[in-house]
Amino acid sequence: MSDTKFVLWLLAQSDQGQVLGNVINDLAVRFRSPSFLPHVTLLPLATRDPSTAERTVSTLAARVSPFSVSIAGIDTEPDYFRFLTLRLANDPALVELREQACQLAGLPVTPFQPHISLMYHGDNPALQSSAREYCLAQPAIAGTERIVLNRLALVDISAAVEQWQVLQALPLANSSL
């Protein structure tokens, strides 16, 4: 595990989150990988202080309205945390939110590859190909063009993946970006 203790996640509206969670759980059982909550990692936070991290989440959630992002494809990478992902478009609302989060957290704006991980696993090209084909055959994945992101969460990732804890999850406000 890295030195990062807290990350900011964007969470999908409940029906889409449940569908994605079911796919992640199916993959975890089928391919013996960890199960986790579907999310878009917005930003790792430099602080290890929970109250500072919670203030960041509260402030940011109050500034942003729910928005949708386009699904741009299913990708695979050799990286453990990007083994199998839904690639998301860098839609303007998402880019602006990421920039606001960086500014609020006092971090530089760095390149961003928005995605929702579907499976974490070590380097295994044959397994990766099988898992990708499995996802492409899932109507819930193949038939979805956009994901609505409507909550911001603070997550403690200092433990193993299946022990990550959502410490705070707030609905995005109705104000505009």
One DSSP character per residue, 83-134 reads SEEEEE---HHHHHHHHHHHHHHT--------EEEEE---S-HHHHHHHHHH
Establish how many alpha carbons lie within 13 A of residue 35's alpha carbon, considering only the half-sphere containing its beta carbon: 12
* DSSP letter, residue 161: G
pLDDT at 4 over 80: no
The arithmetic mean of pLDDT across residues 6-24, rounded, is: 95
pLDDT category at 1 given cuts 50, 70, 90 is very low
Residue boundaries of the structural domains of the chain: 6-171
**Helix and strand numbers, DSSP H then E, in the chain:** 5, 7
The pTM (predicted TM-score) of the whole model is 0.91
Strand partners, 10: 40, 152
pLDDT tens sequence across 138-167: 888 877 899 999 999 999 999 999 999 999
pLDDT of residue 133: 94
pLDDT tens sequence across 91-107: 999 999 999 999 988 89
The arithmetic mean of pLDDT across residues 10-24, rounded, is: 95
**CA–CA dist 157, 134 (Å, integer):** 28
pLDDT of residue 48: 77
Contact residues for 32 (Cβ-Cβ < 8 A; gap 6+): none
Q: Select the CATH number that applies to the domain covering 6-171 from these four: 2.40.340.10, 3.30.70.660, 3.90.1150.10, 3.90.1140.10.
A: 3.90.1140.10
Lowest mean pLDDT, pick from 14-23, 133-142, 146-155, 167-176: 167-176
pLDDT of residue 176: 40
Contact yes or no for 37/95 (Cβ under 8 A): no
The arithmetic mean of pLDDT across residues 15-21, rounded, is: 94
